[in-house]
Structures are given as C-alpha cells and as structure tokens.
Structure 1
C-alpha cells in the first residue's frame, strides 16, 4: 500500500502540468522494490481554498503525503522518500527556482489492524 496523496494550490497549474508531477512520482514508486505495484496509487487534488505563507498572490505549494503499510525498515522508507522527493523536485525545478513555492513530503505508516482493503487488482497483477 503505497498511496501518494498530492495536494497543491490551484494556481500552480498555471506553471506546472500536475500530471507530469504524478507520472514522475509514480515512476519512482513503480521501480522501487519496496512498493508492490498493485498497491500504488498517486492522487492529486487542488486545494479549493488556501492561503500560503504571507498570502502573496504568487505563492504556490505542493504537499505530498505517502501512506505505506507498516513493516518496512525506516532506512528503506527514508531512501525511498529521498528518491521520490528528488524526482518531484526535478519535475518542479522551474517553480522551485522562484521565491514563492513550497514543496513537502511526509511518509505515514498505516496500522494494519486499522486499515481495511478489498482490491482484486493485487490478484490480477500477481498472475503476470
């Protein structure tokens, strides 16, 4: 279960193709042995309402939260987070060069006893 939730300021879409950011993140996750491909989800949503930092009209943000199942070593998660963050930084290089942008990533571990799933995708992909 690697689910990446991306929230961003709606004005970011003036400068960035968010689909390209999602693709860059997915490519890292899909090629990392730490994450089963069948569990990968990358979702991006513009915040309907937001105020960023000093409310300057040019301010934008992109905040990522990666939810993963428990049981992975912290060092492995840290390394995967480093790769994911670097890939998204590269996709956002132009806006990161400006003084009005904030990028973040947080990794959260999900307690298996408090997480329910029903997905035949895992079975389909494991047959390949």
Structure 2
C-alpha cells in the first residue's frame, strides 16, 4: 500500500482533491455514520458508457494492499493500480449549478468524451 499524504507527489502519481470536494465527501461519510479516520472515498475507472470508460466512486473502509492512498483536506482517497493509469494527474472537484450538483473529475489524460459527459477515452 502506497501512501501519499505529504503533498510533494515526487514518489507516487498524484490525485488532487479540492477543498469543496473533500468537505462534501466528509459530510456524506459522516451522514453514513462512517469513521472519517478509517473510511475513505474509492475513486476508480470501470468499463462502460459510449466512450468506453467511466468513473466510479464509493465509500470504503478497507483499502487493498496495492491501493495508493491520498489524503487531502482530511479526506482519504483510495485508488487501485488499474484505475491509476487512467486517472493519474486528475483533480476531484465538487460543482454546484442550476441543473445539478455533484463530483467532477478533471482528467488530463482524456482525449475524448461522450456527448453527455458520462464516459471517456484516454
């Protein structure tokens, strides 16, 4: 298990999390009665969508041995090695708007997205 909580990013690939995204995720964790010191947000990539790949997120309390764990603004993020190759360098954010509120991933590896923005290709 690789841990990156120093913020220097020199030894492990980076995933950034904005303060707004961390606050929203921590609020949701607390609403699920999960221990924020033990639990975290798993960010992963799965096959699916019209462009081929899509993001997934879920709360997790048991990171795998080969996960990379990031900590930003008090939130732990778990990323498996298969997903890391697609999302390295990404920024997890939370956006509020007139039509929807939700988490977004700004991914520098994306070369195209489907029209609805739900899936991507790298």
Taking structure 1 as the reference length, the TM-score comes to: 0.28
Question: Which structure carries more helix by proportion?
Answer: 1
Larger Rg: 1
* Larger RCO (CA under 8 A, 6+ residues apart): 1
Question: Which structure carries more strand by proportion?
Answer: 2
